Amino acid sequence: MTNESLTIQINDCLPGAVIESGTEWLTVLVSPSAWKPFASQLRYSPLLEFDFLFCVTGIDWKTHLSIVYHLRSTVHHHTLVVKSLLDRENPEIQTVADIWRTAEFHEREIYDLLGVNFLYHPDLRRLFMTDDHTGWPLRKDYEDPVNMIRL
Amino acid sequence: MPDIPDYINAATNFPGTVHPTAGGGIVISKLDEVINWARSNSLWPLVFGTSCCAIEMMSTAAPKYDWSRFGFEVARATPRQADVIIIAGTIVNKMAPVLKRLYDQMADPKYVIAMGACATSGGPFFYNTYSVVKGADHIIPVDVYIAGCPPRPEALLHALITLQQKITRGDTREQIKTDKS
C-alpha cells in the first residue's frame, strides 16, 4: 500500500489522526490513551495487518518523553511509524506486548533506561541494570556521582 | 648461525649450555629457567571477549597472524585450564564480578593482558557513562597493557611476546605486575 492510501486507512481507524508525511515512512502521532485500541486495529484490520513491530524507541526531550513504534506488514509490505508524547513526571502508556510479543522486551528496556511505566505489562522489571538500581540512566538529567565522570 | 634479535631469542631458545663429554654431552641449566622457558612458550589463553577487540583477537588467532607460531593456539573455554586472560573489550559494572570470578578460577601461574583502550582505562567510555569500569585493573591485576581502539593484531602479538619475555626473565608474579617496562 502506498503512503497515500495508507493515510486514508489510518483516518478511518483513528479519525482526526495527526499524520506527518514527506518522509519515507508515514508517521502518525497518537495520544497515549488512544494508542492501545489504535494498535489493535493496526494489527488486526485486514487491510493494514501490521504483523511486525520492528523497533520501539524511547526518547527524552527534556520537556517530555516520547515513544516511537516502527511497524511493518509482511503481508502488504508497508511500513508505519507511530509516535506518542508522554508526560515526563508521570510517563504512562499501555503495553502492546499482548499484540506484538517482541514489545515485551523492548518495553522492559525503555522502562529500565527511561522509566516509562507500561501499564498492564506482563513482566515490567529491570533488564540491563541490576534489580536494586535506582534512577533512569538515559534521562538527560541522570546523575551518578559514583560511576560517572562528568566532562 | 644468523644473528637473531634478543626479543625473539629470549622466548624460544632453550636456556642452558651443552657441556660436551665423550660420546655426547650434558645439558647444564637451571630448573627455574627451564620451567619459565616452558611456561612462556605454551601460554593458553582464555576464550574471553566482550566487544570489538575480540574480533581483532580472533584475527590474531586466525591464519593470517596465527598466534600459534608463538605458542598461544590452545585457547581454552574454561578458566581452569587457561594461563592468560586477554581482556578483549569493555568491562561494564555488571561484567566486573564475572571477570573477577573467572580470574579467581584460573590456576597459578596466571597472567592478564588488558587489550585496548576500554580494558586499559574505559577508553571512549571514560566520561559521562554510568555503566563502564574505568580500567580492568580496578578488578584484577594486569601484566601487559595494549593501546589502541581496537589494537591491531600485530599489537596483540607484541603484547603476548612482551609477556613471554617477562616470564622468561624469571620475574615473580609480583615483579611482573609492577614492572613498567
State whether residue A75 sits within 8 Å of chain B by CB: no
Taking the CA of residue A86 as centre, how many other CA atoms within 13 Å lie in the half-sphere pointing to its CB? 25
Contact list, A144 vs chain B (CB under 8 Å):
130
Decide if A142 and B94 are in contact by the 8 Å CB cutoff: no
**Interchain CB distance below 8 Å, B128 and A151:** yes
The pLDDT tens digits of the residues spanning B91-109 come to 999 999 999 999 999 998 8
Grid cell digits, residue A31: 495520544
Cα separation, B10 vs B1, whole angstroms: 16
Shortest CA gap B126–chain A (Å): 7
Whether residues A147 and B127 touch (CB distance < 8 A) is answered with no
For chain B, list the strands marked E by DSSP.
Answer: 17-21, 24-28, 84-88, 111-115, 144-146
| pLDDT tens sequence across B120-175 | 999 999 998 999 999 999 999 999 999 999 999 999 999 999 998 888 887 666 66
Partner-chain contact A148 B126, CB within 8 Å:
no
d(CA B16, CA B3): 18
Q: Considering only A102-106, B24-28, B174-178, which range has the smallest mean pLDDT?
A: B174-178
* Contact (Cβ atoms closer than 8 angstroms) between residue B81 and residue B47: no
Instruction: Provide ipTM, 2 decimals.
Output: 0.74
Grid cell locating B151: 589494537
Question: Mean pLDDT lowest for which of A11-15, A125-129, B40-44, B137-141?
Answer: A11-15
What's phi and psi for B89, nearest 5 deg?
135, 180
Q: Do A151 and B130 touch (CB under 8 A)?
A: no
Closest chain B residue to A137, measured at CA: B130
How many whole angstroms separate alpha carbon B5 and alpha carbon B165?
Answer: 13
Task: Say if residue B14's pLDDT is above 50.
Answer: yes
A88, A29 Cβ separation under 8 angstroms: no
